[in-house]
A and B are shown apart, each in its own frame.
Chain A
Amino acid sequence: MNSTVIGNISRFVLLMAAQILVFNKMELFGYTAFPYILYILLFPVNGNKAVLLITAFFLGLTQDIFLNTSGPHAAACVCLAYFRPAFFRFSFGISYEYQTIRINDRLTPERFSFILISVVTHHLILYLLELLRFSLIIGTLIRTVATTAFTLILCITIIYLIKPGKQ
């Protein structure tokens, strides 16, 4: 067990606990945010992809169990985990694997675009599945936009809060 594995596990547990205990109960204008997807964003860039996929699935499933929604969070998390390398390439350029990318650092346009595109993808899939089931188009669109904005703000705030101090 090296420190990366322990870091990943503790991030999983802490983010899930924060999501269940705090963020699921917190609402702004009737919309909740899902900053638990930070686990997928903060997973090490060169980490094992299979591990990321499987843990992302269980991350989403846990959220589904607690929210009584069956499946959409798991599907959205798995998709986000699978497309993450593509988003890295989009935001940081083609040679991202050779750079040392740190997501939890000062907010640059690259980092912001990466977080934005990830959050939008996750929420779009989440609400697309909702749309397929309920076909309430306008309500779903408003919810997607509002929740995306709320999650984005919370994600950036959390990154700023837990970012390691400068030596």
Chain B
Amino acid sequence: MQQIFNFIFKNSILLLFLLLLGISLSLVFQSHYYHRSRAVTSANAISGYTYEKINDVEQYFSLKEQNDKLATENATLKQLLYNSQDTIDIPIIQKPQGLDNFTVIQSKVISNSYNNYENYLTINSGTNDGVKPDMGVVSSLGVVGIIENTSKNYATVISILNLKFKLDAKIKDSNHFGTLKWDAKNTGYAQLTEVPRLASVKKGDTIVTGGRSVIFPENIPIGKIENIFRDTKTNYYTLSVRLFNDMTNLDHVYIIENKDLQEIRDLEARTGDE
């Protein structure tokens, strides 16, 4: 017993070092395997508050630009509104209440990273505003990311520019599906992989979210095809997609909640069990 105590006293620094190293390494690998429950995120009161205060100052630098963006978006929406008046003769189908699938929450990016392999955004709405993990985040131009962690007033978003990010997307005109990923090379581009060779693709085609995604509604714009690569082994196309969003400069974003998400997930889990 005496010897054990002696050993502990003699090597206390080494043991402390190993303990702290063990904790930090377990944080690293825990986030690798269970990435929906990371312990260390900036969605907490202290870092969220700090980022919000920093953003309070920073937002003035891009105020004019953000105003222009919102005005452009308003103009687009107005155009939609005026042009749909012709269809007034068509009887409106009254849906029973509670059948609207999607609700939209307005929010603001307070911190944005884009030069790592796993990039995250921090936004200033959390569970108090009804934000939950696995909701989609879009800006006026297109898809931004998916909510990962939430606290009371803040949430972190997995950005498109993240190696963990995967999204079901399709080519707008031909309806051929693929998986959108990022290859960690350029902040302006993402890759649409596993597009079948049957698909007729050409440069400049628009890529939108697909109908198989339960997180995003269908037909939200993502980007334009910039380059087409043919995989010789697998008979699939890999398309280089130029994103509509400038991911390095984001401010106002919208969070989309799919009300049926839980039901769909439950159903899928039950089907998988059997």
Return 5 A-B CB contacts under 8 Å, by A number: A53-B13, A65-B47, A68-B118, A74-B20, A134-B184
CB contacts (< 8 Å) of B74 on chain A: these are none
Is B120 positioned at the interface, with any CB of A under 8 Å from its CB? yes
Q: Which residues 10-41 in B have Cβ within 8 Å of A in the complex?
A: 12-13, 16-17, 20-21, 23-28, 30-32, 38-41
Within the complex, the shortest CB–CB distance from B23 to chain A, in Å, comes to 7
Tell me how far the C-beta of A126 lies from the nearest C-beta in chain B, rounded to whole angstroms: 11
- Looking at chain B, what size class is its interface with the partner chain? 35 or more
Residue A87, interface by CB 8 Å: no
A61 near B40 with CB under 8 A, answer yes
Known: A53-B17, A65-B40, A70-B31. A75 touches B25 (CB 8 A): yes
| Residues of A in contact, count (CB < 8 Å) | 34
Residues of B near A133 (CB, < 8 A) are 28, 32
Question: When the two chains form their complex, are residues A129 and B47 in contact, meaning their CB atoms are under 8 A apart?
Answer: no
User: How far is A27 from B13 in the complex, measured between Cα atoms in Å?
Assistant: 36
Closest-by-CB residue of A relative to B44 is A65
Choose one: B27, B38, B54, B117; the contact of A21 (CB below 8 Å). B54
Distance of A74 Cα from B20 Cα, bound (Å):
8
Q: Once bound together, how far apart are the Cα atoms of A122 and B156, in whole Å?
A: 27
Contact with A along B70-105 (1 / 0, CB 8 A): 000000000000000000000000000000000000
- Chain B residue at minimal CB-CB distance from A78: B20
Identify which of B24, B51, B54, B184 contacts A74 (C-beta below 8 A): B24
Contact status B42-A71, CB under 8 Å: no
Please name all residues of chain B whose beta carbon is closer than 8 Å to the beta carbon of A130 when the two chains form the complex: 117
Complex contact A75–B42 (CB within 8 A): no
Q: Is the interface of B mostly helix, strand, loop or mixed?
A: helix
Q: Which residues of A contact B (CB under 8 A)?
A: 20-21, 27, 30-32, 49-50, 53-54, 57, 60-61, 64-72, 74-75, 78-79, 81-82, 129-130, 133-134, 136, 139
Number of A-B contacts (CB under 8 A): 94
A82 pairs with B17, CB closer than 8 A: yes
- B residues sitting closer than 8 Å to A (CB atoms) are 12-13, 16-17, 20-21, 23-28, 30-32, 38-42, 44, 46-47, 50-51, 54, 113, 115-118, 120, 122, 156, 163, 184-185
Q: What is the CA–CA distance of A154 and B25 in the complex, to the nearest angstrom?
A: 28
**A69 in contact with B21 (CB, 8 Å):** no
From the candidates B24, B26, B116, B120, name the one contacting A60 in the complex (CB within 8 A): B24
**Measured between alpha carbons, how far is A70 from B24 in the docked complex, in Å?**
8
Residue on B with the closest CB to A129? B28
Given contacts A50-B13, A130-B117, A68 and B41 within 8 Å (CB-CB): yes
